[in-house]
């Protein structure tokens, strides 16, 4: 696996855990955090570069970190967030199916 991918994996898990701590301490609610992450994704998708110059797969890749953090946020029921692999599967299940380009 590419070292950058491992670094991204570690960073995403760290941010997910920080988000979880913010919710547990009552500084943010799950809904407030979800709303903030939705705004980030909307901002990303409103960029002309993403909507016109990139394939759907590349747009999904650009939005993956935000969707990952949303999955972690929405999955927190206890003190721990799910493992990385489980969260990535959650993100994959929520993606819109792609229409193959011809």
CB 24 within 8 A of CB 79: yes
Query: What are the tens digits of pLDDT across the range 22-54?
Result: 999 999 999 999 999 999 999 988 887 767 778
In this structure, what are the phi and psi dihedrals at residue 15, rounded to the nearest 5 degrees?
-65, -40
pLDDT digit string, tens, across residues 77-86? 666 889 999 9
pTM of the model: 0.84
What element of type H or E holds 87? helix 84-94
Q: How are the residues of the chain apportioned to helix, strand and coil, as percentages rounded to the nearest 5?
A: 75, 0, 25
């Amino acid at each position: 696996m590419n070292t950058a991918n491992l670094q991204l994996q570690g960073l995403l898990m760290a941010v997910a855990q920080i988000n979880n701590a913010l919710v547990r301490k009552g500084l943010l609610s799950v809904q407030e955090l979800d709303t903030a992450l939705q705004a980030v994704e909307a901002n990303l998708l409103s960029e002309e570069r993403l909507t016109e110059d990139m394939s759907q797969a590349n747009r999904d890749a650009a939005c993956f970190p935000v969707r990952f953090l949303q999955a972690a946020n929405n999955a927190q029921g206890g003190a721990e967030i799910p493992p990385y692999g489980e969260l990535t599967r959650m993100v994959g299940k929520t993606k819109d199916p792609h229409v193959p380009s011809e």
